[in-house]
Chains A and B, each alone.
Chain A
Amino acid sequence: MRYIRPLSIEDAVGLLAGSTGTAAILAGGSDLLVRMKGGFVEPDLIVDIKAIEELSEIRETADGFSIGAAVPCAVLGESAALKKAWPGVVEAAKLIGSKQVQGRCTIVGNLCNASPAADSVPALVAAGARASVVGPGGRRTIPVGSVPTGPGKTSLAKGEIIEAILLDKRAPRSGDAYLRFIPRTEMDIAVVSAGVNLTLDEHGVVTAARVALGAAAPTVLLVEEAAEAIIGRKLDEAALERLAKVCFGACRPIDDKRGTIEFRRKVAGVLAKRAGTTAYARAGGK
C-alpha cells in the first residue's frame, strides 16, 4: 500500500485516475479507517487530500458558500456566517459522531460514504446543495442528491473527487432545519430523519420549499409532493398535517432492529412537521 499526500487537486485526480487496484481518498478517515480495520477494504493507494490548501477552506462568495472537501464538521459549527445562513445544514453536520469524530469527519465524506442514514445528506438535499466534482475530464457541478446511488455506492467515476459542496446565497426570509430520530440523546445512527428548507414572502406564505427524508429509502428522498403541499400557504396546523401525511406516504424504509417500516413512516411525518416548524420560525414566519 502507498500513502500519498498531493498538494494540488490536479495531482490528486492524476493519482486516482492512474491507479491500478483499489484507491481510496482520505479526508477525515472516520469511515475509511474503520472499513480498513474491519477488512472490508484494502486500498493499494491512499490519497490524503488534506494538504490541498483550497480543500480546507469555507469560502463565502457572491453566490453563497463553498465548503472544501477536507473541512471537518467541527469547523462548520464554528463558522458564524454559515450557521446564520444555513443553520439546518450545520446542525445536521454537527450530529455526526462524537467530539472526536467531529474533529475529523467531513460532509463530503458523509455524502460519498453513501449511507442511507447519513445525517448531513438530507439537510444538504433540502438546501439544494451542489457538489463540485473534479476528474480527468475536468470540472462539473451536480446536485448533491445525485451522488449516492445506493447504500455504499456513488455516481462518481474513477479519478473523480468532490472538491467542495456549494450552497446558494440565502434569499430573504429563508430558513432550514434538520431533525433525526435516535433512541438515545446523541451518538447514534438515524433511524429516520427529515430536512426542510423554506422561503417565505412578507406575509409568511411559503413561496419555495424543499423537503428531504433520510433513512427512509436506499438513498436520500427529495419529496417534491411534500413541498407542493405547503407552497402557497402559511405553515399552519393544516399545512403541517398535510406535510406529515405526504412524507408518511413517500417513505420506502426497511424493517430492521432499529425500527419497523411502520414506525419509520410515522416518525418521518412527525420529524418533517417539527423540522418544518423550526425552519418556518427561522425564516421569520409566525
Chain B
Amino acid sequence: MAGVAVSTTINGDSVEYLCQPDETLLDVLRDRLGLTGVKEGCGTGDCGACSIILDDRLVCSCLVLGAEAEGRRVETVEGMAHGDRLHPLQQKFLEHAALQCGICTPGFLIAAKDLLAKNPDPSEEEIRFGLAGNLCRCTGYDKIVRAVQDAANVMKGA
C-alpha cells in the first residue's frame, strides 16, 4: 500500500507524516509521533480513551483515519499544560484524586476541556452527560465530576 503524506497541526505545531491509508489517527499519534497520551481502550469509539479535539470537535481518534487529519487542527492532552504549569483541569484532577489507574485520564481531560470551552458553567448533570462518552472503571466518576466542577470555578475566575 502506498503511503499517504499528511500535513497537519498538532497542539499548535505544524507536523508532517506518512501513514498507511487504513491507519487510524490514534495509531499515527501513538506509534509515529510518540504522543502516547492518547490511549487505545476499545478501538471502536465506545470508551473515549483516545479522545482528541479535531477542529474544535471532540472525537475518538480511533474512528478517524490518519489521512483525514490533512489540513486540520488536532489537540491532544500533551498540549494542555504550558511548560510546568498544568491546565486547571489537570491540577484539579490531581487535587481531587480523580484517577486511579490513569488510562482513561487523558481522554477525560480532553473531553472536559471541550465541555468547558462550550459550556463554562455546566451543571453536574451536564458534566455527567458531557463525559458519558468516556469510561472509567476505577473512580466511579464522582471524583472526576467534582474535579471538573472545581476547575470550571477556577477557570471562570481567571
In the complex, B80 has a CB within 8 A of chain A: no
Residues on A with C-beta less than 8 A from B150 are none
A28 to B133, alpha carbons, bound, how many Å? Answer: 16
| 30 A-B contact pairs sorted by A residue (CB < 8 Å) | A1-B20, A2-B21, A3-B21, A3-B67, A28-B63, A30-B63, A33-B45, A33-B63, A33-B64, A33-B65, A37-B62, A48-B65, A48-B67, A72-B57, A74-B57, A97-B45, A98-B132, A99-B114, A99-B115, A99-B131, A99-B133, A100-B51, A100-B59, A101-B133, A103-B54, A103-B57, A103-B58, A104-B57, A186-B132, A187-B133
Write the nearest CB–CB distance from A270 to chain B, whole angstroms: 24
- With A30-B63, A34-B63, A186-B129: A99-B111 Cβ-Cβ less than 8 Å: yes
Please determine whether A100 and B60 come into contact, CB atoms closer than 8 angstroms: yes
Tell me the minimal C-beta distance from A28 to chain B in angstroms.
8
Q: Which of A29, A30, A74 contacts B65 (CB 8 A)?
A: A29
**SS class of chain B's interface: helix, strand, loop or mixed?**
mixed
Give 6 A-B pairs besides A29-B63, A187-B132 with Cβ atoms closer than 8 angstroms: A1-B1, A98-B133, A99-B115, A99-B133, A104-B57, A104-B59
Q: Interface size on B (CB < 8 Å)?
A: 33
Interchain CB contact (< 8 A) of A100 among B21, B24, B133: B133
Q: Which of A1, A3, A33, A101 interacts with B24 by CB under 8 Å?
A: A33
Q: Which A positions have Cβ atoms within 8 angstroms of B?
A: 1-3, 5, 26, 28-30, 33-34, 36-38, 43, 46, 48, 50, 72, 74, 97-101, 103-104, 186-187
